[in-house]
Structure 1
Amino acid sequence: MTLQTHTSLLNQRQAGVLLHISSLPSNFYTGDLGGESYRFIDFLHEIGASVWQTLPINVPHADNSPYQCLSAHAGNPDFISLESLQSQGLLTKEDCTGLITSKLALLDKAYINFCQLSENIPEHNKLHQEFVRFSKKQASWLDDFSLFLALRHHFNEAGWNHWPELYKNRDKKTLKEARVQLAHEIAVIKFTQFVFFSQWIALKKYATEKNVALFGDIPIFVAYDSADVWAHSDLFKLNADKSVSVVAGVPPDYFSETGQRWGNPHYNWDAMQRDGFSWWISRMATQSELFDIVRIDHFRGLEAAWEIPATEETAINGEWVLAPGDALLAAIKQALPEINLVAEDLGIITTEVDALRQKYHLPGMKILQFAFSGASDNPYLPENISENSVVYTGTHDNDTTLSWYNCLDDYQRENLHAYLTATHAEGYELNMPNDLIEMALASKALLAIIPMQDVLQLNGQHRMNTPGTITGNWHWRFSWQQLAQAQKDSIRIAISHTGR
């Protein structure tokens, strides 16, 4: 069985599982692209799921959030499989169990071995040629990123805005000298990205063979401390000294009296539009190479985004500023006609945002944990969900469904119970989280995604992220011991019975 064509990928009933790469079982401190990622694809294939959704896979800052990254293109080196490097003869088992504990140090050693072997062994010479081809193909972002990261290490991980002026302002002579001085470090960074992309493309090929599509995610904005803002400062709203003039966020709402101040710089859309949105098209081309489907986080920001003066400590005193989302999406679709996009359209969405999403036939998101407010027009109730949607029990930002249910107030719990009683046969007994999983799978939405925590029926100690908090997030990992045969059978039967 082969993977569906791009044009049909979002046009048929399918089921998938949400699990970030870091959450895979591993002998190291985070999951990676080794054997466990292939085993997870086998698991998806076994239960009849044909989509694997991850979070962004780029290089995070120290807080490990995949939504604030050092590059819009570069892959996270933490996800590189050391076992795969051993199988290629670039590392030994002793290397990975010895005194060198840093993965970056091991990648440096793998690069040195790679250079030595390339000179003597034809097989590795072929690998070297692939590395050269990769470096040329990705040069538009890789050259800047590798220099950026090498300089960042050189300046003790300081953000680029704290570098000496000549480096901060990209003086040509200074950067030319830096490329010579840091040649080894730059080469290792490029090699690391070559390894990441090679391992990812191999995994994608295996997923395709198992009829599993890879579903990625990008934050709409990029981090200020990133290679993108340093290398393309003209494409962002910055002051003359390259400090941020306005930052992104969302206004005060039901959940927060002061709104959310994210701190990302806003795009200089006029500058982006003048060159045909080339930065965005390049970004999406990379994502399209790595994924079969891509979700745009905070999609509403493509229609209008909340701009907050950088001097403000909260998001209260911001304003909505229009964005050229129509022109941008038209340019992306023209350059990448086969790309499959999903719009994260949660929160307060205007008719203009809906119209933009519908013009490009992008599925929106529906979260069942939001459905039981008691209002019959609640857009998250199953009967109000359209086919052109991706339905979830919850997302990485939600509590697990079991914990969500246990924490419901009496009113919402009664609404949920009444709904389940009305939609089930007489003698029905409550079964969480399976009831919500089956509700998602039975909905009209063409794609249903279940977080792995809900598949495993886990409590709130296993949630991935709690918005508004800065510690204890992004670290959850599962173990195969948590997956009972009964759970596997339950979701396999539910997927089959709901025509997915």
Structure 2
Amino acid sequence: MLMRASGILMHISSLPNCYGIGKLGKEARSFADFLKSSGQRYWQILPISPTSYGDSPYQSFSVFAGNPYFIDFESLESEGLLKPSDYKKIKWGEDPCRVDYGLMYKKVFGVLKKAYAAFDGNTDKDYLSFMEKNAGWVKDYGLFMALKSAHGGRAWYEWEEPLKMFEYKAIADAREKYSDEISFWCFVQYEYSKQWGRLKQYANSLGIEIIGDIPIYVAYDSVEVWTKPRYFLLDENKTPVDVAGCPPDVFSVKGQLWGNPLYRWDVMETENFRWWIDRIRAAVQTYDVVRIDHFRGFESYYAIPYDREDAVVGEWRKGPDMKLFREVKKQLGNCRIIAEDLGFITPKVARLLKSSGFPGMKVLQFAFAPDGKSNYLPHNYKNSNNICYTGTHDNETAAGWVRSAGRKELKFCRDYLNVRRNKDIPWGMIRAAWASVSDTAIAQMQDFLELDSSARMNTPSTLGGNWQWRASEDMFTDGLAERIYGITKLYDRLGEQ
């Protein structure tokens, strides 16, 4: 990411349409067109894995699977797998600008099962090729989802002991008993893969590259932990010993208890980090650029005893550091990776980032302490090897930040951005990001639209009400595209366009 360029952060779920959640069809292509006309090089999204309890894309049933909610029904109709009446008569929610995940769970899979009933996998050569290419994960994922369905959605660690412990005979019997349901889930991933491939190809044809996002940890209720417990810090009953999170800080007095199982890095190292290599290989094949969340956890990570209700009690432990990324380079070459280096950054974490060569992140919403000494202020950037964001999916929208910031902070911000009114701060932040020395500048779509806190994507350490914001079609106007193009040209971020 060496040329000066810029992009927009908006998840697939936030795309507009009539079906309750963003899809991979024509609206996604229309947004790629908007990016092109706006002079943008990058479309950044959140993890596209299936969401589980809490609806977070950072807590998924699988690190390799795609989210079935994003499968475009109209594309399935064009393949002859659906009729209009199969999905157009369904009421997909009360508010077109909010995702109702409970409704998605109740309605989407019924439509996909109708498409599956019309599909003949035995004669589809592309399907057979997909199954062969993805044999390392897709059948286990299909089994996991089939068993989850058979158990009323319960987590794998609540199943009967032989299935919970992945005993050979129980698993063989389950593969036979639920063979059709397993095939359904494999079909879902095949259709998702096709549609994702078409969207990425279209975006790339416009000169748009997609920045994808992978969480550092995986969910406890995931196919990976169920089938490969040796890689995770579990006891003999497959119960976590310690779990992931962040210690208390100025943003959270009790810290953040994520609850994800921790890795057995010693075991992974004996296998030359094969599991991580496979994961990163899949990510760089799926996206053009990969953002790795919580990058500091590779240097050292915070471990919290499993039975705790918050993150106050915990300890830092040493991670794999550069050993992992030297192996990544050895096996995969120079991957295009962004390191999410936010949080408690020690000199050792800074050395890891420098040694990796990956660009880190600068977030302007963290920059405006009145003393003017923040490392997030653009004039304090020591080099251009970073991505300057107005805010991330975990931050307020820029307009929401204005409403929550203190008086002294706002005065310093107005002075720094050279704007007179608080209402001008969102676009002032965008200009500051685009004017910065950073190789890449990115803003949330909500910031270009000057939307308030109701459009915030996620509030960390809260459950419910997150990941729901959606755009409406009338937001992506020619006038807005021209305005974005104007500042992108002004600050020499058009790249090769």
Q: TM-score range by the shorter chain?
A: over 0.9
Separation (CA, whole Å) in 1 of partners of 2:347 and 2:90:
58
Q: CA RMSD in A?
A: 1.7
Separation (CA, whole Å) in 1 of partners of 2:472 and 2:90:
27
SS at match of 1:431: helix
AA aligned to 2:461 is: G
- What is the match of residue 396 of structure 2? 399
Q: Does 1:496 align with 2:493?
A: no
- Matched-pair contact (CA < 8 Å) for 1:50–1:213: yes
Separation (CA, whole Å) in 2 of partners of 1:375 and 1:331:
42
- What is the match of residue 143 of structure 1? 139
Q: Out of 105, 109, 113, which is 1:104 matched to? A: 109
- What is the match of residue 460 of structure 1? 453
Q: Out of 323, 327, 335, which is 2:319 matched to? A: 323
Separation (CA, whole Å) in 1 of partners of 2:197 and 2:465:
31
- What is the match of residue 419 of structure 1? 416
Unaligned runs of 5+ in 1: 1-9, 120-124
Deviation at 1:55, TM superposition (A): 0.4
User: 1:461-476 counterparts in 2 under 5 A?
Assistant: 461-476=454-469
- Matched-pair contact (CA < 8 Å) for 1:456–1:483: no
- Matched-pair contact (CA < 8 Å) for 1:295–1:341: yes
- What is the match of residue 186 of structure 2? 190
Deviation at 1:428, TM superposition (A): 10
Bigger Cα displacement from structure 2, 212-221 vs 487-496 = 487-496
TM-score with structure 1 setting the length: 0.93
Separation (CA, whole Å) in 2 of partners of 1:283 and 1:325:
17
Q: Does 1:364 align with 2:360?
A: yes
Q: Out of 295, 299, 304, which is 1:308 matched to? A: 304
Separation (CA, whole Å) in 1 of partners of 2:111 and 2:135:
24
Separation (CA, whole Å) in 2 of partners of 1:81 and 1:375:
50
Separation (CA, whole Å) in 1 of partners of 2:444 and 2:170:
48
AA aligned to 2:68 is: P
Deviation at 1:484, TM superposition (A): 4.3
- Runs of at least 4 residues of structure 1 off by over 4 A? 98-101, 427-430
- What is the match of residue 21 of structure 1? 12
Separation (CA, whole Å) in 1 of partners of 2:313 and 2:423:
46
- Deviation readout 1:21-58 (Å, 9 max, x if unpaired): 00000111110101000000000000100100000000
- What is the match of residue 212 of structure 1? 208
- What is the match of residue 178 of structure 1? 174
CA 1:177–1:430 in structure 2 vs 1: closer, same or farther (change >3 Å)? Answer: closer
User: 1:244-259 counterparts in 2 under 5 A?
Assistant: 244-259=240-255
| Aligned pairs, number | 478
Q: Out of 331, 334, 338, which is 1:335 matched to? A: 331
- Deviation readout 1:163-208 (Å, 9 max, x if unpaired): 0000001111111111111010000101110111111111111111
AA aligned to 2:491 is: T
SS at match of 1:432: helix
Separation (CA, whole Å) in 1 of partners of 2:114 and 2:372:
61
Separation (CA, whole Å) in 2 of partners of 1:247 and 1:62:
17
AA aligned to 2:370 is: G
Separation (CA, whole Å) in 2 of partners of 1:228 and 1:87:
34
- Matched-pair contact (CA < 8 Å) for 2:248–2:311: yes
Bigger Cα displacement from structure 2, 157-166 vs 256-265 = 256-265
- What is the match of residue 387 of structure 1? 384
CA 1:484–1:109 in structure 2 vs 1: closer, same or farther (change >3 Å)? Answer: closer
- What is the match of residue 258 of structure 2? 262
CA 1:310–1:461 in structure 2 vs 1: closer, same or farther (change >3 Å)? Answer: same
- Deviation readout 1:280-322 (Å, 9 max, x if unpaired): 1111111111100111111000000000111222212210000
CA 1:239–1:22 in structure 2 vs 1: closer, same or farther (change >3 Å)? Answer: same
- Matched-pair contact (CA < 8 Å) for 2:414–2:421: no
- Matched-pair contact (CA < 8 Å) for 1:292–1:339: no
- Deviation readout 1:350-380 (Å, 9 max, x if unpaired): 1111111111111111011111102343110
Deviation at 1:486, TM superposition (A): 3.4
- What is the match of residue 113 of structure 1? 118
Deviation at 1:335, TM superposition (A): 2.0
AA aligned to 1:69 is: S
TM-score with structure 2 setting the length: 0.93
User: 1:230-241 counterparts in 2 under 5 A?
Assistant: 230-241=226-237
Deviation at 1:452, TM superposition (A): 0.4
Unaligned runs of 5+ in 2: 92-105
User: 1:339-358 counterparts in 2 under 5 A?
Assistant: 339-358=335-354
Separation (CA, whole Å) in 2 of partners of 1:393 and 1:376:
17
